[in-house]
Amino acid sequence: MTHSKTIVLIHGLFVNNTSWSEWKTYFEAKGYSVYTPANPHHDGTPSSLRASINPALNKVGLEDVVANIVNLIDTLPEKPIVIGHSLAGLVVQKLIEMNKAAAGISIDGAPPKNVLPPFQTIKTVFPVVNFFKGGAYMGSREWYHYAFFNNMSREQSDREYDRVAVPESRTIARDTLLKSFANVNHKLPHNPLLFIAGENDNIFPASFSKRIAAAYKHNGSIADFKSFPGRSHYICGEAGWQEVAGYIEQWIANLPA
């Protein structure tokens, strides 16, 4: 099904593409060409993005994020393998539905609109989608410690906040709840998908990620699931991320030719 040697790493909400730096190095060492695009108005260092929030940021929607990746893919010599974390897990599903990728990996990924989230997810993301608030969302250190860095001490969490946290478009998050574009047709044949979950994820619990994977109904298509014990939503950045990357590498290698 895929011999692609091209990978596109897609960042989720609340961080930017700098969060993929170690993964880029990892997969390049394995012989892949690796791209780490930033979502619209997410270019720069996290500290500079926090210091001066772009007023255009909150105009960015889900379709803009997907179109940005499609524009990159259309310049590549082959269909890539797309790997997305958090919100980008939904982007991965859309790219697979659009037949823009040879295979897709959703890590602690957001659901399509037509897979209803549990209360825990709603509670955690409510500060972001809060319809009574305007402008971009900048999570507090406390929110990041609960939602992302719950496997770390508060001191470690604050250091990671300084390193990776960025302001975010509320519009993207709201689009996942309101826009029909956020739906996915789970009955269609599709290229291989892998859903990875962290057992300690406070945004998208592992049981929910498993339910997203199980929504895919086409018998001839691959939709695999893997849960990693003890991992948080920050599964791609916390200690042990190499095990997750290695699992993905082997999953890709074992796909049918």
Q: How confident is the prediction along the chain (257 residues), in pLDDT tens digits per residue? A: 568 999 999 999 999 999 999 999 999 999 999 999 999 999 999 999 999 999 999 999 999 999 999 999 999 999 999 999 999 999 999 999 999 999 999 999 999 999 999 999 999 999 999 999 999 999 999 999 999 999 999 999 999 999 999 999 999 999 999 999 999 999 999 999 999 999 999 999 999 999 999 999 999 999 999 999 999 999 999 999 999 999 999 999 999 87
Q: What is the pLDDT of residue 94?
A: 98
Q: What is the pLDDT of residue 223?
A: 98
Distance CA 101, CA 190 (A): 10
Compute the C-alpha angle 198/85/36, nearest 5°: 140
- Read off the tokens for 205: 């619990």
Closest by alpha carbon to 114, among 177, 38, 56? Answer: 177
If residue 88 lies in a helix (H) or strand (E), which one and from where to where? helix 87-97
Count the neighbouring beta carbons within 10 Å of the beta carbon of residue 44: 17
Beta strand extents in 94-210 (DSSP E only)? 103-107, 193-198
Q: What is the pLDDT of residue 3?
A: 82
pTM above 0.85, yes or no: yes
- Read off the tokens for 146: 């609960």
Q: Is 73 helix (H, G, I), strand (E, B) or coil?
A: helix
Domains of the chain: 6-253 (3.40.50.1820)
Q: What is the pLDDT of residue 2?
A: 64
Q: What is the pLDDT of residue 257?
A: 77
Distance CA 252, CA 105 (A): 10
Cα 129 to the center of its chain, rounded Å: 17
Distance CA 111, CA 213 (A): 10
Distance CA 174, CA 6 (A): 31
